[in-house]
Structure 1
Amino acid sequence: MNLARLKKVRTALADAQDGRCCYCRRPFGDGALACTLEHRRPRMNGGTDDIANLAAACWHCNRNRGMQMHRAKLLKSQKSAAHALAVANVTLAKTALIEALTNYRSARATLASMRLLNPPGDTDARQ
């Protein structure tokens, strides 16, 4: 968006909102209350620069909302990573269990063939 159009859109949105921030409803001013354009649906989530997706927000609210979005994105990626790790741990545990059972069965078969392991139901050898 070019600078002239940006200023025109920001002014039009601020006028449509009675000169107040779309979040805190404070009147626009200087510094932290300076009027900025806010994307209702963030560009990082597929939002566009279309006027229907824009609102006028004070600098303070716009900045803090951006930080909230960043924190939410980080939290989502951390949860996703934790879930992937949990799935990997379960898969690893299942694989280890299968391997242990296979080794156990193999060892039992070897011991039975060497007659070092009593077959099930053979009670005489245990006495």
Structure 2
Amino acid sequence: MPRSRSPRSTVTLPEPADRAWIRCAMEPVVHGVRFLDWACGRAGFAPRTAVWTEQSSTAVRMAAAGVGVCAAPAHIVRGAVGEDCVLFTPDPSWRRPPAVHGRTESTGAAAAFVDLLRAR
């Protein structure tokens, strides 16, 4: 959301519970439900969807224009609108586990990367 709507640089997820949300069609699915539904449900509310968009960067720009709030990775937010926005921090934080898929066995740098992921 635009910084003008909050004096702080971060807010917790329940704070904008009454606001309209801009949703991205490519939103990941967590435990069988879309990420925002899952995260907001854990925070005690259901998001009110204002609009769906295909691109995360479009959702961020719409939020910056005041259409609603959106959930997007911080690097997309900063890349789309710079520092003039408020970041939501889900508590506890959520990170998607890495996954690797290939049609053939990995070689070279790709194999080294797969080995690195497996070691974690």
Q: Fold conserved (TM > 0.5)?
A: no
Q: TM-score range by the shorter chain?
A: under 0.3
Larger radius of gyration: 1
TM-score of the superposed pair, with normalisation by structure 1: 0.24
Q: Which has the higher contact order (CA 8 A, sep 6+)?
A: 2
